[in-house]
């Protein structure tokens, strides 16, 4: 009986050590630029201003924290945001919004190709505004 238990324990140990492990996280490295978008401010022909936004991975990226920088000409705003609860592994995306001088931060899930709107970044004549659009939870 003791031999059977020892053999069974050895088989389990070999099976566990040879079984495939979870892949390493695909989260970006802290400080890495995730996305960048920009568009010229067409009303400003003199200064050639640009409205732009940049997403970077924060030092707490494993907790879903990202840095956001928005610029309108000489005006610059910096902020941080956290991905939805249970969705910390989703990497944010950045796209142009429907309205002028609007960018949308969103994400896609592993099993779906839908772009989920999360934050909006709006620039109007030097005024920068960042706000949450929707709330999500994946728990």
User: What distances in angstroms separate CA 4 from CA 9, 14, 82, 85, 113, one per listed residue?
Assistant: 8, 15, 52, 46, 50
Using one digit for the tens of pLDDT, what is the confidence trace for 122-135?
998 778 999 999 99
Cα 48 to its chain centre, rounded Å, is 30
Predicted confidence (pLDDT) at residue 45 exceeds the cutoff of 50: yes
C-alpha–C-alpha distance, residues 93 and 35, integer Å: 7
Average pLDDT of 95-119?
93
Q: Where are the domains of the chain?
A: 24-132
Radius of gyration of the chain (CA): 22
Average pLDDT of 32-47?
92
- Residue 23 has what pLDDT? 37
- Residue 7 has what pLDDT? 42
Predicted confidence (pLDDT) at residue 81 exceeds the cutoff of 60: yes
Predicted confidence (pLDDT) at residue 22 exceeds the cutoff of 50: no
Q: Which residue has the higher pLDDT, 12 or 110?
A: 110
pTM of the model: 0.77
- Residue 110 has what pLDDT? 83
CB 94 within 8 A of CB 36: yes
- Residue 3 has what pLDDT? 52
User: pLDDT band at 137, cuts 50/70/90?
Assistant: confident
């Amino acid at each position: 009986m003791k031999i059977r238990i020892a053999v069974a324990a050895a088989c389990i140990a070999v099976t566990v050590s040879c079984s495939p492990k979870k892949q390493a996280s695909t989260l970006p490295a802290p400080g890495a630029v995730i996305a960048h978008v920009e568009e010229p401010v067409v009303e400003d022909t003199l200064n050639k201003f640009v409205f732009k936004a940049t997403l970077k991975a924060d030092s707490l990226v494993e907790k879903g924290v990202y840095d956001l920088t928005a610029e309108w000409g000489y005006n610059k705003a910096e902020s941080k945001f956290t991905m939805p609860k249970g969705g910390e592994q989703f990497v944010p995306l950045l796209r142009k919004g429907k309205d002028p001088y609007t960018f949308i931060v969103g994400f896609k899930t592993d099993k779906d190709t839908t772009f989920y709107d999360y934050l909006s970044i709006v620039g109007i004549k030097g005024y920068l505004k960042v706000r949450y659009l929707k709330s999500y939870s994946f728990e």
